[in-house]
Amino acid sequence: MKKIIPFILLAAVLMICCRQEQKEYKTASKPQEIKDTTIVAGVYHYQFDGFELWTLQDMQRGMSMDLFPKADPQVVKKLVPTGEAESAINAFLVKRGGEYILFDAGLGLDQGGAMLDKLSMLNIKPEEIRTVMLTHFHGDHIGGMLTGGEVTFPNAEVYFSKEEQAAWKRDGRVQRFLDAYEGHVHPFKCAPNIIDGVDAILAPGHTPGHTLYQIGNLLIIGDIIHALALQQTHPEYCPVYDQEPQLAAKTRKEVYDYIQDHKLVVAGMHLPYSGVIEDFHAE
């Protein structure tokens, strides 16, 4: 079963102004030493050994089971009886050594994304983001890199896999984003220490250059999971978004094993609620 950790109150006034119904999950203390927290308006905070993590919920929305056309209808009916799994669009912010690293940028303000609003709640300006690391180039991950056609993060260096760049070289939307950040983009071959203390792990199938990032015992899994309620126990089921379904399913199973073997904390761009699972089991 999944265990999702709650978060610290940002400010009493935000609780008054942004009061909304939230689902909270508690978890036993683990060696990861994440402090118990409380959530406010889609921002979640965790303290790790040596760095802090915030979930910035760009949008909360359901994931229709129609997006899993090859899933067994009886399994779907049992696990997702409403026909729609809890899901979200998340970006993640890490603060380490006084500097901020943003992992993915959400849909963008132009498409109704709330990531910039969540940064504002933390009193963080886009100019303060010095590093952006992208899992892949789908619109709900790079849309927030531009606002009104201009760069959102003017002081940021942007990292992504070479395989992902090659796969989208004829896509006009991607090219506009790359052109806007010209001189500040850093395509890489996945390897340990892409930047100090951040490992990049190639996890293809969803897209050719889909990338995971590991910092200590935290693994940011990008779009390995779209519908947790279904895919946690059935990694073989792929949404229509997976460009190479067979490869995506194989990768998903390997990632599940890696998480469990190394007892990693998981942060996912489409995991619901806090977007973070401390004790992940694919039972």
What was the pLDDT predicted at 54? 97
What are the Cα distances from residue 262, in Å, to 15, 36, 202, 234, 279?
36, 22, 17, 20, 11
What was the pLDDT predicted at 283? 67
Residue 90 has pLDDT above 70, yes or no: yes
What was the pLDDT predicted at 45? 95
What are the Cα distances from residue 221, in Å, to 80, 82, 182, 225, 237?
22, 26, 27, 8, 17
Four-CA torsion 235, 56, 212, 1, nearest 10 degrees = -30
Q: Nearest CA to 221 among 186, 251, 185, 191?
A: 251
CA distance linking residue 118 with residue 124, whole number of Å:
9
115: Cα separation from own chain's centroid: 12
What was the pLDDT predicted at 11? 34
Between CA 127 and CA 105, with CA 152 as vertex, the angle to 5 degrees is 105
CA distance linking residue 132 with residue 145, whole number of Å:
9
pTM: 0.86
pLDDT (mean) for 211-238: 98
* Fold of the domain spanning 12-277: Metallo-beta-lactamase; Chain A (3.60.15)
Mean model confidence pLDDT for the chain:
88
- Report the range out of 3-17, 40-54, 108-122, 246-260 with the highest average pLDDT: 246-260
Query: Cβ distance 146 to 176 under 8 Å?
Result: yes
pLDDT (mean) for 220-234: 98
- Asked which of 66-70, 175-179, 279-283 is least confident by mean pLDDT, the reply is 279-283
Percentage of the chain modeled with pLDDT above 90: 83
